[in-house]
Structure 1
Amino acid sequence: MEPKWLDWAKQLQSIAQAGLTYSKDVYDLERFELIRNISVDILAHCSNMERQVIKDLFASDKGYATPKVDIRAVVFKDEKILMVQENSDGNWALPGGWADIGLTLSEVAVKEVKEESGFDVKAIKLLAITDNKCHPHPPSAFHIYKIFILCEIVGGKPSKGVETSEVKFFAENELPTLSTPRNTKSQIEMAFQYLKNPLETVYFD
């Protein structure tokens, strides 16, 4: 579970963002801006991020606050799982990224696999929808849902992308160091459970 201070900061940010979006009274707007600044101060005090970075990334959104959606493609070959090495931290993740406006879940999964690994795939099945706060991801300023989609290779060949430096398949007992903001060991193990039992029901939360 995520630390309580992070939950408080995100709730304050959500309240402030909704208030700044829908309020008309100038005094209410000032109060909601104060609440937003308090949420930024909490994050800056309790994390290693600079206050201005937090404000630019976390507290500059407009409209009603909603969770961000991260889509991860689960691709198997010879009972091994496809992973890419991330340039950002040098660790490994399932191909994926933020959902794109105008694209379906399947289209995002297919696009991310192509861009990050070089393989052409087709989306087969929804496996899981997880909430970051329920899994051992590092603390994040955003409330994030992760959607895991099973995909099947139909063509292409392994090649690194703009954000990735290497492409490999790993057996369940040979997993590399994982990029935990993107996926956890338990989530990769869950993916292998779907390989072993294709009739497993969709996991959520």
Structure 2
Amino acid sequence: MTDWNDLISQALSALLGTVVGGVITVFVARWQTDKTISAQTQLAAEQYAASAQLARAERERENSAVAAKQLLERLADLYAWLPSLPDVALENPRLSEHARVCCADAMESVRRGMFTELFSITDTEMRERYRVLVRLVYDAGRRGAGGQRPERLIRDVRNYLRYVQVSLGFVIDGEPLPVHEEPPILDRDSPAVWLPSSSSVTWSDPADGS
């Protein structure tokens, strides 16, 4: 009888060990599965966030490039009529009334760009350069700043406009902007024409030899 009891006891012990071992194995396997799923879920979330951020940055870059091209078109119109900029503030234009009207219209177009396309450009420094140009143009055209030296005034504004055009070109290419340049002071006494301190062939315009 004792042997039989011992056999039963051993069998129960073995069965209990098997059950406990199985439970532990299942628990460990489930824990590992849950951990793997959690890690995969976190990785997928991080990848999605990174992908969304990259897509957003690409959209912003594309929108900035499109806006920069549109602003360049506005600036090109103003560039063509810059010789009449000092006439906008005069009762009797030095050149023609037609040229003065066209220059005033181009000024207004450039100003409107400050409230439309400029908002799509994410680079704050680029936005500020464009706003500075608008202030220069209106100081010269509407308030008569620098009117004592009209030829120098035209070239000052033209050179800063070229600086802004080149900066917009860098936005289109997705490259860092050229170095910051302080704008010209239109009412200064010096007859010297304003030029960027980092002057190079980049700023020159073959059409006028500047």
Give the TM-score normalised by structure 1: 0.28
* Structure showing the higher strand proportion among its residues: 1
Give the TM-score normalised by structure 2: 0.27
Q: Which has the larger radius of gyration?
A: 2
